[in-house]
Structure 1
Amino acid sequence: MTEETSFSVVVPCYNYAHYLKGCVESILCQGVKVQVIVIDDCSSDDTPAVGTSLAKDSRVTFLRHEVNQGHIQTYNEGLALATGDYTALISADDLLTPGALKRAQAVFDTHPEVGMVYGHAPYFQSNDTLPHARVGEPRVDIWDGRRWIAQRCKTATSCISSPEVVVRTSLQQQLGGYCADLPHAGDFEMWLRFAAHSRIAYLGRVDQAYYRRHPASMQETRFNSILADLAQRRAAFEIVFHAHGHKIEDMEQLREVALRALAKEALWIACWSYDRRRVDRVCVNDLEAFASQTYPGARSLAEYWGLQWRRRLGPRWPPILQPILPSGYLHWAKSKMLWRRQRVRGV
């Protein structure tokens, strides 16, 4: 790596003092020239003390909000301060794997058309029980941006957790930061935005970061509404197609594919609630309405007719019978295949 090349890593932090030191250390030991920007969004724990101690290293800058600004504004503040050639954003309770930044750097050097590099991010719950990380020579897959977006439209889901991503800072500054209207799907919208303007690289056979899942995460608390999640992903697609559709070939076709996938997912969740006797926990009528509003042809979907059939069966059927419906096994098999594909190919 040349002396001129450097990385900026933004570390937003809110009440993660216990994890902050380990996160920053995983960045500083990458063996690259790095600028670490830690932003404490008004934590109520020992984060200020930990951050101030870490800032004794000249590579670390520690900033603190006296009033909570929220995660989107905090992210964008950090991105605006990035001065390195490449930028990553890693939550204070996540970790980079050894050599992650060097692996991303090698791809950027070899492929100037690539605007974003990511890899696999195994989940963990405690720093004491980290899964084994694959850190050998990666297999590099370069995706045309349109093809990458097409894969996301087919499933209407993101294939990225977040800390495993590194982007070109120049392109990040050109495209802007996180969308304030998408508190849950802001990262998903951003990755789509990058794909509309550049090629995307996936590093196979290696792990680029650790992503912590925990009960207090936003995915498990504030954003645990199924409908809210579906609506946010729909909004992410609409924003990208509206603002950047001119850069995406066959944009209208891809848009229809994405909306159809969202409608199918909403209807299948409604079906699943019958199969698992959880109708009291899921608003089936709202899911059906979402599907109809999202995709005009919702009533032609197999999931729609599956839902109507389940409604006719109703709760009088023994619980053991509905879970063995063939459609349930089909969806289970598809989800397993999708998980395997994302693990191997990243899409």
Structure 2
Amino acid sequence: MRFHSPRALGRTPRVSVVIPCYNYGRYLPAAVASALDQQGLDVDVLVVDDASPDGSHLVAQELAASDPRVDVLVHDNNAGHIQTYNDGLTRAEGDYVVLLSADDLLPRNALTRAIGLMEAHPSVGLVYGYARSFTDRPDTVTDETRNWSVWPGRQWLRRSARSGRCFLVSPEAVMRREALFETDLYDPRLPHSGDFDMWLRTAARWDVGRVNGPIQAHYRVHDANMHLTSYAGWLTDLEARRRTFDILFDERAADVAEVVALRPVAMKALAREAMRRSRLAHRGAGWSDDEAAAYLQFASETWPGSERSWTGRATRLLLEQGRLPAVQARELGTRVRHHVEWRRERRWGV
């Protein structure tokens, strides 16, 4: 990874922002306005309404009537979020493409900053930054960029495998159009982790960049978030990540030995997280034998060495006897390590 000083745009690139919407008509005006508030870019917005019963399409059509940069595609029947994403993305004509959920927001000039990096580094297919969560009102964002990070894609992918997870939330991601269409868009087999799949596929072929410093997206947290409803639960998330890595190694990059060699690294990371979740479930309210056992079963299936590892033996002893063998110091070390990792990821993105 290398750091680079930010540069101003030398031309006016075109960026297409696709906003999928289902029953989020109340959020649409703010989302569209945030996407258009980008200096130095030629922005077009396509709202794709997935047959929302709340009248979202009427809100979208009113926005389109008031601004020629906004267009609307309305599904006659509900097609689900993956098809909605793909229907919008296939119509993107910009040099760069963004998928922005209707309940999220882009800070002013977030796309300008991200595309500035990609214009300066043609090998970069994906750019992201820090996405901050909010509930009622997003934080004010400064335009000041500390620097840019650029990773060789497979180096970034290796970091992701070692952590066993994705570093992006989603609304902060900007993709080069050529890179996007190399991925064949969202995979319907991965309704929970389609974004993660796309980032991994891109990193296997393209470099990855990050805008360091300012907030690059506002992620809205509310009761109807998909990760809190249709795909809730840490075990569901772990299973989806394992499936995503399997598809990467078996299909996406099966011809890239450097990538395939990361399978045991990713599986071990997922298993370790599952064992940690098992211990947390034991300590938390509402713990059940079945829940803890499910995490351990996942760890055993994912990484056969988990049962022989110190962590695996200690976790089983905790569940069977209600105690851990002199692990207070190690557990404290684990918490400290996770905090340090969080702080590093907040600043540098990995």
Shorter-chain TM-score range = over 0.9
The reply on whether 1:200 has 2:203 as its aligned counterpart is no
Rounded to whole Å, the distance in 2 between the matches of 1:199 and 1:34 is 24
What is residue 342 of structure 1 aligned with on the other side?
345
Q: Deviations for 1:2-45, whole angstroms, at most 9, x for unmatched residues?
A: 66620000000111111110110011121321110100111122
Kindly indicate whether the alpha-carbon contact (under 8 Å) linking 2:192 and 2:237 is maintained by their aligned counterparts in 1.
yes
What is residue 62 of structure 1 aligned with on the other side?
72
**Residues 247 and 34 of structure 1: CA distance in aligned 2, closer, same or farther (over 3 Å):** farther
- Which amino acid is 1:329 matched to? L
Rounded to whole Å, the distance in 2 between the matches of 1:27 and 1:332 is 38
SS at match of 1:87: strand
What is residue 232 of structure 2 aligned with on the other side?
224
Rounded to whole Å, the distance in 1 between the matches of 2:255 and 2:156 is 13
What is residue 102 of structure 2 aligned with on the other side?
92
Structure 1 runs of 4+ with >6 Å offset: none
Kindly indicate whether the alpha-carbon contact (under 8 Å) linking 2:150 and 2:208 is maintained by their aligned counterparts in 1.
yes
Shift of the alpha carbon at 1:213?
1.3
SS at match of 2:226: coil
Partner of residue 261 from structure 2, selected from 253, 257, 273: 253
- Which amino acid is 2:84 matched to? T
Kindly indicate whether the alpha-carbon contact (under 8 Å) linking 2:281 and 2:291 is maintained by their aligned counterparts in 1.
no
Rounded to whole Å, the distance in 2 between the matches of 1:249 and 1:272 is 36
TM-score normalised according to structure 2 size: 0.92
Rounded to whole Å, the distance in 2 between the matches of 1:130 and 1:73 is 29
**Residues 93 and 191 of structure 1: CA distance in aligned 2, closer, same or farther (over 3 Å):** same
- Which amino acid is 2:68 matched to? S
The reply on whether 1:306 has 2:326 as its aligned counterpart is no
The reply on whether 1:296 has 2:304 as its aligned counterpart is yes
- The number of residue pairs the alignment matches comes to 340
Rounded to whole Å, the distance in 2 between the matches of 1:279 and 1:172 is 42
Kindly indicate whether the alpha-carbon contact (under 8 Å) linking 1:3 and 1:33 is maintained by their aligned counterparts in 2.
no
Kindly indicate whether the alpha-carbon contact (under 8 Å) linking 1:145 and 1:198 is maintained by their aligned counterparts in 2.
yes
Kindly indicate whether the alpha-carbon contact (under 8 Å) linking 1:197 and 1:247 is maintained by their aligned counterparts in 2.
no
SS at match of 2:46: strand
Kindly indicate whether the alpha-carbon contact (under 8 Å) linking 1:96 and 1:210 is maintained by their aligned counterparts in 2.
yes
Q: Please report the RMSD computed on the Cα atoms of aligned residues, expressed in angstroms.
A: 2.1
- Which amino acid is 1:8 matched to? S
Partner of residue 45 from structure 2, selected from 36, 47, 50: 36
Kindly indicate whether the alpha-carbon contact (under 8 Å) linking 1:146 and 1:249 is maintained by their aligned counterparts in 2.
no
Q: Deviations for 1:103-131, whole angstroms, at most 9, x for unmatched residues?
A: 122111111111011111111112xx212
Please list every run of 5 or more consecutive structure 2 residues that lacks an aligned counterpart in the other structure. 1-8
What is residue 215 of structure 1 aligned with on the other side?
223
Rounded to whole Å, the distance in 2 between the matches of 1:242 and 1:259 is 14
Shift of the alpha carbon at 1:283?
1.5
Kindly indicate whether the alpha-carbon contact (under 8 Å) linking 1:97 and 1:208 is maintained by their aligned counterparts in 2.
yes
What is residue 18 of structure 1 aligned with on the other side?
26
**Residues 141 and 2 of structure 1: CA distance in aligned 2, closer, same or farther (over 3 Å):** closer
The reply on whether 1:112 has 2:115 as its aligned counterpart is no
Kindly indicate whether the alpha-carbon contact (under 8 Å) linking 1:146 and 1:248 is maintained by their aligned counterparts in 2.
no
Larger mean CA deviation between 194-203 and 274-283 belongs to 274-283
- Which amino acid is 2:347 matched to? V
